[in-house]
Structure 1
Amino acid sequence: MAYTVTLPREGGTLYTYHLQQARPFTTPTERFQKRVAFAAAHVVCDPFADTDPLHESKIDWEGTLAYRHHLWSHGFAVAEAMDTAQRGMGLRWDRAKELIQRSAAEAKTVGGRIACGAGTDQLTPHHGVRLEEVEAAYEEQCEFVEAQGGQIIIMASRALAACAKSPEDYRRVYGNILTQVSRPVILHWLGDMFDPALTGYWGHRDLDAAMDVCLDIIREHREKIDGIKISLLDKHREIHMRRLLPPGVRMYTGDDFHYPELIRGDEEGYSDALLGIFDAIAPAAAAALLALDAGDVDRYHAILDKTVPLARHIFQKPTYAYKTGIVFLAYLNGHQPHFRMIGGAEGARSIIHLAELFVLADKAGLLRDPELAVQRMNLALSLAGVSSS
């Protein structure tokens, strides 16, 4: 059956879009082997909580955990309580603790791999914060993650960025934390396009100088580091850093613009993945990674390259608003019954943006039930004042 929807363009003109009749991706029966792939997962807001959504949003635990099962069922490891889950942008540490605890317990029921963000968001970032406080905050969160059985992802710290006076302060804090963890961690270098409060991380605004500091820390503590995720949206820097990593330390791409070529790799290596976009494109990404396992590079690119326009759209500036598109696609696909977000973040993108997201998701074969997707798109359009009559 053919489906159509009337969509708006900027300025208010309307056009009719005819959905393609693509066959949806199915849940795989195999698990990909050649790459480690984490999907950073979003949280589902409780729409019936009678609280101020800007300051006291609550989580729908059933919907949130069901989405993690969706990701595990497609073979992905889950990266929990990261920026995709609106960590630091609606999700406070007290709520993140419960999220980590519940998700880690749920992972054990299906043998799912999980790694969880540990940061310093108990602290309010300001220049008066002391390094000892930053270290104590990291210690608290790392201990909590390990106690739940999760792998630690050491998130970049706004508080450290605010109070560090030199690269030596980063070496000190990371060195002290890494000597205490009991199993190898994943470091996370999040660029300022995702979080402006992290400008100048590692003690330098110059990214090449910052990378040198980060690499020094990795080399000194290599036995405690599984890998590093960098989210700079700069494939050349990622490839350069990947080639400089010590043997056995993985590069986890966080590049939501260039992931197909970075995961495929080149004659000198490849990137594994820890990506927010995998939350949205899990069925396609799983099929592509299985094709890569089979040595079918053409099929790998035929599937995954079609998702790149969608990813670039979702992660367009302001990049930190990408979570809105991730959640909207989950809503279109019936993974949650509403388009509400903690912190009221559903309002972070325009209806024009969401209409184009709908089109790009369809072209990538990522609308698993076109009839439902059209119904829900029409509801969003009507709420925004778009009328096809």
Structure 2
Amino acid sequence: MARHHLTIGMFTDTYLPQTNGVVSSLLASADALRRRGHRVIIVAPGLGEVDEAHPDVFYLRSASFPFYPEFRMAFPLPAKLVANLPRVPFNVIHAHSFFFIGCLGAYLARVRNVPLAYTYHTRFVDYAHYLPVHQRVTKTQAVWISREFCNHCDRVITPTTDVERLLRSYGVEKAIDIIPTGIDLATFAGDGEVPRTIAALQGHPILLSVGRIAKEKNLDFLADAFAHLVTRRPDARLVMVGDGPYRSELEQRCVSLGCRELVSFVGDLPQQQLGGYYSNADCFVFSSKTETQGLVLLEAMAHGLPAVAVDCAVTREVLRSAAGTLTDDDPHAFADAVELFLREAPAQREARRQAARTAATPYSSDALAVVLEQLYVDAAGSFAVAR
């Protein structure tokens, strides 16, 4: 049967130049779907002069969220763009958040009478501490809006079975499709180049952490584990790629632990520059327990970098076979696991690297785009029959 080319609207409240899992997921899906001949229009918050010029990326004016400056609050401006959006011939609309732009996408889906898909990327209850009100109230509200928004969509997508179970516990009744976020190795240009930070540490075992530096990422735990490790492996070094609202507190914790000189804080990097870090580190370390998938784990594995991660439902689902090790939520246990990694013979280490690459293979963005495309086609077909 001939494949129909679709016009897909992706509506998101977080976008470039921010670097996080939602942005990476959206870009990987959009690029893979475009390679398959579909038109993907992205509606996102704009930052003005730094916005990427792309004919199919529409920017709404935005301002920083008062209690979390990295998050942007969008407004229905420019008015001409908002007025013209209902005329865009979308075949399906895919919301990637349930804030203003996500809700705009949901509204347009009803106006255009097309199916609405929604990917639940974030455990919002774990972000309640950013609001200056009692967390019990905000967590209850996060559960309520998650349930209500999902139940008003035509298709709900989660990246793992753990998140599917979470939404069911919230009372989500709609059918849920489990489609992991894919990774596109073509975006990691310059894998053969050794970054200067890594080059300066040659001769030392290098642990790598990639991601937003935020309280909910459990990075105090990682600092504690690293401090334990260096009492036995004083030659070990930790490289942290990323930035965020908790960076100054984390740096101060490293100072208090006596390991600040052994930790390199690189800051945010575009995805194109991450390949050199993944390819030249010795072990990926991952302490977060609030992820919906843990995309950076997959990126590390795809580059042949084995990982040590805190055991939770999501890491258990992603980190399988000899690609890495799961540990208890205990800094001593985590440090022990990393030390065992660093003591492995070269042949065993190479076997782990190959196992990591193999485990990441099913997560190709092109392969998963086929699954997402079929979901869109099925949703559009069901919607047409229902009309």
TM-score with structure 2 length normalisation? 0.32
Higher RCO (CA 8 Å, separation ≥ 6 residues): 1
Structure with greater proportional strand content: 2
TM-score with structure 1 length normalisation? 0.32
